[in-house]
Amino acid sequence: MSGASRSGVETTDGGRLRLWRHGADDAGPERSLVVVCGAFLPAAVYAPFAAGLLRELPEGWAVHVYDRRGKGSSSPIPPAYSMDTEIADVAAVLRATGARHLLGHSLGGSVTLNAVQAFAGQDRADRRFHDPALVPVRTAVYDPAINLDGSMDTAWVADFAALVDEGKLGRALDLADRRFGSTPTLSRAPSWMVAGVLALSLRTPLARVARSVFPAGAAELKAALGEEARASDFAALPTDTLFMTGERSADYFQATTRALAAAVPGSRLEIAPKGVHGSIPAVRHDVVSGLAAWFAAEPRPGA
């Protein structure tokens, strides 16, 4: 197994995505996996997770992680950015890597599910993205961020964007945290205290990397949460799909994951013991081992 290497992927609108490959240089398509990162998170945050996943997978696998728009060395969010931008970018990365497996975390889970639907030519009238060759052999999402049946009031996204524009990043993080309920302990604290703690956390080396992605944050949230969806919209996913959530993930993520799994015939639901929303970048063992077992398994007949 080799170390990580980086390359660039050209996008259909003239942009460029930074791509990191972890694992075997000569991994074939059936042993290659693309990770779609969550909101605000650059690919560098997922490097420990990629390494942990490779330790659990059989020899000869590669894990590809790319910086989505507005992160790392990838192009900024374009003026006409939408979920279609994300789908086109997933397609570009899959073509560049040849990978036959796809994993999405949080908002990346929303991108992943919409992309697989689009590649299969489902529920998109223009069928611009229809390409059965891109439909993964196996797909997994962990705590997907989707606005199912109006389960989330997205009016707060405008306030979030305004706080980011004003440079009040601690307060912006507090607002997002409270809406998603991703940090139970902080969510019970007074707003001024949470904003202070999160603002101080932005001074750490890793958070300084994350600070640069805030301008893209509001656009991402609008694209993923702005339109209401129904769990049944994803009922015809044409691939083996694993829906995973953490035992200790926020109620919103648990409810969304369970509803999606219940709506997709033949899919699998897994609850990661003691898992939280950040268990993927934190490399929690139960989450990593469960995902590795899913991707390494042989596809079901007819899937």
Write the pLDDT tens digit of every residue in 106-125.
Answer: 999 999 999 999 998 865 55
- The 10s digit of each residue's pLDDT in 137-168 is 999 999 998 888 776 677 777 888 888 778 78
Structural domains of the chain, ranges and CATH numbers in brackets:
2-149+226-296 (3.40.50.1820), 156-224 (no CATH)
- Tracing tokens 């302990």 back to the chain, one arrives at 185
Secondary element (H or E) of residue 242:
strand 240-246
Q: Are strands 62-66 and 32-36 parallel, antiparallel or unpaired?
A: parallel
> What pLDDT sits at residue 216?
76
pLDDT band at 1 (very low <50, low <70, confident <90, very high): very low
Amino acid identity for residue 165 in this structure: D
For the ranges 168-172, 212-216, 245-249, the lowest mean pLDDT is seen at 212-216
Give me the percent of the chain exceeding a pLDDT of 90: 48
- Torsion angle of C-alpha atoms 145, 209, 195, 287, degrees rounded to 10: 40
Give me the percent of the chain exceeding a pLDDT of 70: 82
Q: Are strands 268-272 and 240-246 parallel, antiparallel or unpaired?
A: parallel
Task: Extract the tokens encoding 251.
Answer: 């109620």
5 Rama class: left (phi>0) / alpha (psi -120 to 50) / beta: beta
> What pLDDT sits at residue 10?
96
Distance in angstroms (rounded) separating the CA atoms of residues 66 and 89: 10
Residue 257 has pLDDT above 60, yes or no: yes
> What pLDDT sits at residue 66?
97
C-beta separation of 208 from 217 below 8 A: no
